[in-house]
Amino acid sequence: QVQLQESGPGLLKPSETLSLTCAVSGYSISSGYYWGWIRQPPGKGLEWIGTFYRSGSTYYNPSLKSRVTISVDTSKNQVSLRLSSVTAADTAVYYCARHRRGGYCSGASCPFDYWGQGTLVTVSS
Amino acid sequence: DIQMTQSPSSLSASVGDRVTITCQASQDISNYLNWYQQKPGKAPKLLIYDASNLETGVPSRFSGSGSGTDFSFTISSLQPEDIATYYCQQSDNLPLTFGGGTKVEIK
């Protein structure tokens, strides 16, 4: 059973860098699948942040691309998210998720079939 | 970016009612449309992929249809455990985008 668990600081000051990790269990991320990050501001909808594939390919939402880095530590079986120069607008629950395989989609375009429980990050001075 | 417009934004129905949510894409996305259920304080759960395919383990009272720009999601007989917010999401093009959500409540 695949499980994902996000972790990281829950409170940041404006201009700081958000750093989150997603520990994956039940599957080796180096074996395949695409892995993504999605966020959800309190009481609002979902926003895709970006996706990583084991080949090193990354795909980012253009709205965040200049501030986002997604990487993988295969030795720890973790996916990481870094978001620089945060503001209050970055306050959200951050989820990591696995892209599904199969069907008509391909790669980073596929829907998300496994999600972490999410972690709330608040940006406040 | 492809804009996804869901309606209604909220609805209230009785147990056993048939509930339908619609999702419109700003351009043709073929059948690259997915539906998620999100209960309060929980992560979204994939219910339907490729417009009409039921994810493994999802009850058959959930269904989806549509292609191109217009899609619908139906709960054939609303159950108390279906209280949640439902989101559509297109997987035709990056960036992946979601609809604004439909909150389903029991009347």
What is the pLDDT, as a whole number, of residue A52? 93
Sign of CA dihedral A117, A123, B3, B7: positive
What is the pLDDT, as a whole number, of residue A46? 98
HEC readout, B1-62: CCCEEEECCEEEECCCCCEEEEEEECCCCCCCEEEEEECCCCCCEEEEECCCEECCCCCCCE
- Does residue B43 sit at the A interface (CB-CB below 8 Å)? yes
CB contact under 8 A, A103 and B53: yes
Residue B71 tokens, joined:
């899609």
For A94, which residue in chain B has the nearest alpha carbon? B43
Contact A97, A47 (CB under 8 A): no
Give per-residue pLDDT as tens, A105-122.
888 889 999 999 999 999
Give per-residue pLDDT as tens, B32-42.
999 999 999 99
Residues of chain B with pLDDT under 70: none
Give per-residue pLDDT as tens, A49-74.
999 998 889 999 999 999 999 999 99
What is the pLDDT, as a whole number, of residue A102? 78
Give per-residue pLDDT as tens, A68-107.
999 999 999 999 999 999 999 999 999 999 999 877 888 8
Contact B69, B2 (CB under 8 A): no
pLDDT at A31 over 90: no
CB contact under 8 A, A110 and B50: no
CB contact under 8 A, B92 and A109: yes
Tally Cβ neighbours within 10 Å of residue B2: 18
